[in-house]
Structure 1
Amino acid sequence: MPVSPLRIATAFSLLVSLLIPENAAAEPPTPAESALLHDLDKIVESKANSGWKIDRYELETMMPDALQSLCNTPETARLDALTRQAREVESLGGPVAEAYRKNGGKLSGLSDLLAATRVHDLLTEALKRAPAECPFWITPSPAFRGLQTDAHRFTLNLETDGLFLLRRREGTFLPGAGGLGRLLLGRGLSERWTMLFGLEFGGWALIEQNEGETNFPLEFIGATPFVVRHVRTTWQFDLELAPVVFLTQSDLRPSAGGRVGVAVGVSTLRIRGIMPWAGVQLSTEFFPENGVRGSVMVLKGGARVGFDWDF
């Protein structure tokens, strides 16, 4: 039976990986190799988040996204990625089936090894299919930056919040609820870090009771948020600072203040250049006393939904 060139190349790359010194194996990946592995990591984790069942069928459903990234990657980077991933599996105690038996037939403590093995299997299968299934219009490039990341590119980010709040003014606390929307321009510094800056507008209604009567006064804000986002595959963590302007329905003169906020979210794979995500956020805003009104503090929390567009 003839042996395919891919099998020879794969076996050769694995043999070389065993013979080269450890310090050489520790060399950082090329940008294209790093982008490919990041994409595959996210594809596998996204599938696992939705519930992993039978390996064969899960690999099949992931194959279109995996090939889209692989076909953009040069041949050498593909094989280097396979070698690096094989070493990752080995360093985590693989093969996973053997580690499972040694662990007493339990998967607890093997999550990293299981994920690395799935990435390795997905990459191996995609390499087999690439010669026949890569579209003719995709040209591999050493400058490939990945498809499931913001790394080294500008993005537009539309985000909306549904929030609950507690507002303190002149010693009185009032609950409320509202929403906001914002448009942010992002710049990916790497697969792990993104900076965002933009404009935000929103408002809320308070619940106020006076002499047996319930009122719902409206209040409004505008802000220019600056966000540092840390990405861990499908998870993202935001730290936010923002100057904020606050005004009320009854007095449109503004008060200036500031905000500190955090958010945690989970993103999906890109769909036509758009990467949806959803999470929760918590922030506090403070507006010092001025000639318009006394000091105001607002504690807010709620759900946040975002759309990251690689334009």
Structure 2
Amino acid sequence: MQIVAVLALDGVIPFDLSTPVEAFGRTRLPDGDPAYDVRICAAAREVDAGAFRLRAPHGLEALDVADTIIVPGVGEGAPAVPRKVVERLRAAADRGARIASICTGAFVLAEAGLLDGLRATTHWVAAAELARRFPGVEVDPNVLYVDNGQILTSAGAAAGLDLCLHLIRRDHGAAVAAMAARLSVMPLEREGGQAQFIVAELPPVPRGATMEPLLAWLEENAERNLTMPQIAGRAGMSVRTLNRRFREQTGTTPLQWLHRARIRRAQHLLEASSEPVERISERVGFGSPTAFRDQFKRVVGASPHAYRHTFRARRQG
């Protein structure tokens, strides 16, 4: 039986902690035997979980024998990771233990140097901060989880369950993992990544930028089949000059900015209306449904139909 150690730190997010405990603890092999021995461990006997305090039945010695270590996320303002925890995680990695994080648990792995030179993810809200604090980590905010073999990271709390099911499937195959997913009332695989949960924001523009009037006009006229000469004419510039100044102030091109504005509008219509995708494509200004689907999936990470299934059902529910 494999040992799974779930590390509880002060400030731990309760849902992130319970997810691996439930997922691995409920997993059964075909003969009915438990697949994992799940052990909650901590540096101190009592852990502050915000709304309550919990007593961990195991100390850090559980990290020394675990086959898999799960590091749940911690809330904003949580205390610094104790040095002895960092050292224990490094030692576990050196002996070949598999180590995975949920949500902001990626910061703990990064602090231990376990993500250096690797691709990793975390909750999209925290992704920019992870990249800023640990420039040696290639942060991908668009995926549900990243599997580097020995080291794995996942996005928000629900993505932690995706990761746990992925690990169960790696260990025991699809049939065992499918049963674990069924017990969690969860599909074994979800379509799309974390990107579909991120609002397609437009690039920020410095206050007082000369492009502000043009950006407002573009947003108001996003449904029109605008060409670069038309946009440049509205700005009173040549196409070449507009492209250069637009990129200086927004970090992107006029057409890329326009596509993103259209995607934002399409997201709203997919959530709030029952109009066919083809009609929405026309309303937001894409030349063809195929072009719309391609752009939408590139930006959002899921097809328009999958996005509507997820978010319109959520609104109605």
TM-score (normalised: structure 2): 0.26
Q: Which has the larger radius of gyration?
A: 1
TM-score (normalised: structure 1): 0.26
Asked which structure has the greater RCO (Cα within 8 Å, sep 6+), the reply is 1
